[in-house]
Amino acid sequence: MSWRFAACTVASLLAITLPAVAQPSATPSARPPTDQSITGSPQVSAAEQELIWKLEKAGYTQVRDLKSTAEGIVAKAMKDGKDVYLFVDSSGAFRER
* Mean pLDDT calculated for residue range 55-84: 93
Neighbours of 30 (CB within 10 A): 6
Given a cut of 60, whether residue 34 has pLDDT beyond it is no
Sheet of strand 94-96, all strands in order from the earlier edge strand to the far edge? 61-68, 73-79, 82-88, 94-96
**C-alpha 61, offset from chain centre:** 16
Model pTM? 0.54
The answer to whether residues 79 and 66 touch, using CB atoms and an 8 Å cutoff, is no
